[in-house]
Amino acid sequence: MKLKFNKTLFGWSIADEQGIIVAKIKNKELLGPAKNIIDKDGNIVFTTDIINLPSKNEDWNCANSIKYIIYQKEDEIATATFSYAKTPERTTLQKFALRPPQIDIMEVETPYGLLKIKRQKDNSILIYKDEKNLGMVTSFFSFKAKYLEFIEEYEPTFLASLYMLIDYMMHEDDLIIV
């Protein structure tokens, strides 16, 4: 299954290989990270959100302080945890002092099992389950439309919610200047 994610003014429209819109992602509120995943009939199927947990130590934005969640109605059906890169190219001690560390791997506990999502050097994403490559997302930092290719048949709305968790992951290290 190959889905094309087109950015719109307040979200994304998701089309299948034939160009038919199969889902949409819209902001839940005008400002804030929460997103509604809407099916082709206009029903809200999933909601994704970022939850800030109470700080356990003095480190800002540590891996234990944030949780990404997918809700179906009011039920939490998937939870993501992440870890920072520790490779020589992207160590937790970044070369640029103001840049926070990048998230390297995100593990998502889903109804389909544990999915591992790994950032590549070109900022594309690989998705694994039990060491088997299930799919990929094209490079996040390009001006072209993003594609999510998946070898297993999951519902498009679930893949759209998974895409939102990946989007949260990819932008977690963005600097916010106030």
Q: Is residue 65 part of a domain?
A: yes
C-alpha 23 chain-centroid distance: 16
User: What pTM, to 2 d.p., does this model score?
Assistant: 0.81
> 54-111 pLDDT, tens per residue?
655 555 445 556 788 999 988 999 999 887 766 555 544 445 555 566 778 899 999 9
Number of domains in the chain: 1
Q: Is residue 144 part of a domain?
A: yes
Range list of β-strands (E), the chain: 2-8, 11-15, 21-27, 35-39, 44-52, 66-72, 75-84, 103-110, 113-119, 125-129, 132-137, 146-150
Domain, as residue range, for 122 = 2-170
Q: Is residue 176 part of a domain?
A: no
CATH of residue 16's domain is: 2.40.160
Q: Is residue 178 part of a domain?
A: no
